[in-house]
Structure formats: structure tokens, C-alpha cells
Amino acid sequence: MLPLWFDLSSRKAVVFGGGAVGRRKANFLASEAEVVVISREFTDGFAPSVRLRSGNAEGNMKDMIGWADLVIAATDDIAVNDAIAAEAAAQGKYCNRADGVSTFLIPSVVERENYKVAVSTEGRSPGMSKYLRLELDRLLDRRYGLMVALQEELRQVAREVVPSQAEREERLWKVLKDERVWKALENDPGRARELALQIVVS
């Protein structure tokens, strides 16, 4: 599988299963996509934008899969999940299964103001994905977000003063490798900016 980022703001997703797993996947996708969850029962905690539709998967499967761009099979019945995955495949839709082989995966994500990091074990160990996310969440302090913002500014400055693309990339990389800049970001972002600009425009 290849890791990719997709804009799902104009996409639709159907989740079969209203338990904790279905809720987690529905809420993740609902940050951008239109999401409908189909289940006989629903646990608490679904995002307000998620539409809950009472019913069984078998009775709504074909039409709802046809409506959706992404399909989630998260029921507690393996046979039902098999049927959902088979119908999704027949209709050429990407399907994520809570209990088997999927054609797309939902990663564990660390979110910061200026960047995101996604982690996946490709279904081998959801627990390890969560563990890695927690470790990254602990290690990625505020300096990294500040550096993203600084690099964005420096790219614009470099375009104005350095004609060569290769040279611009080299100077921006020098900023990333400069320990003085990283150290200054901890306590004095203004000083870090001054040091970085000296590297880029020198």
C-alpha cells in the first residue's frame, strides 16, 4: 500500500456498524467527508455532523455503497463484513474492514498546528500504531510547528533572492540542519528567524 493524502471535503462515506470502532472511523472521516452510519444500535460519542441511520446492513448495503465513495465494514459479524467488502469490490469502491483485509486504511494521526504525521502498520498491529502515535505525540514539541511556519516564509524569501531552484533547496536544508536555529526556536523564535534569514540570503 502507498501512503497518500486525499481531500475528502466533497466525498461521501458509509459506515456499517455503530459500535466503538465504527464511531472512531466515522468521526475521523467526518472531519472532511459526509458520513452516514448504519446500525441497529449506536454507542454514544458520534460527531454532530455524522448522520445515524437505524437499520441492518443487509437491507441498506447495495444502495448505500453505491452512494458512497468510501465504505467501512465495522459490524460485529464477520459474514456481514464479508458481504459488505464483496459488494464494495463489485461496485469498485474502496473498503476498510475492522476485521480483515482492506483496500484503504485509516492511520493513527498526530496533529499539530502546521503539520500532521500519520502512522500505520498496514493492519498488522493497531495497538502498535496507537503506541507509535503516542510516542510521536510526546516527542514532537512546538519547535517543529514553528519550523514549518519559518520554512514557509523562507521559501518565499528564497524565491525572490536566489534564482536557482537547487540552490534554494540547499539553503533551506542548511536552515533545517543548523542547531543554532533549532535551539533559538525553543525560547526566542525571533532570533531563530534572524539566523535562518542570514543563511538563506547570504
107-140: which CATH architecture?
Answer: 2-Layer Sandwich (3.30)
Flag whether pLDDT at 107 surpasses 90: yes
pLDDT digits (tens, 9 = 90+) for 160-178: 999 999 999 999 999 999 9
In angstroms, what CA-CA distances link 175 with 38, 113, 150?
A: 50, 20, 10
Q: What is the pLDDT of residue 60?
A: 82
The Cα–Cα gap between 107 and 195 comes to 36
In angstroms, what CA-CA distances link 8 with 33, 75, 80, 144, 202?
A: 5, 23, 26, 26, 42
Q: What is the mean pLDDT of the chain?
A: 96
The CA-CA-CA angle for residues 136, 140, 143, to 5°, reads 170
Q: What is the pLDDT of residue 189?
A: 96
Q: Where are the domains of the chain?
A: 1-106, 107-140, 142-201
Sequence length of the chain is 202
Where does 1-106 sit in CATH, by number? 3.40.50.720
Do residues 19 and 70 touch, judged by C-beta distance below 8 A? Answer: no
Average pLDDT over every residue of 68-96: 97
pTM of the prediction?
A: 0.86
Give the three-state DSSP class for 99.
coil
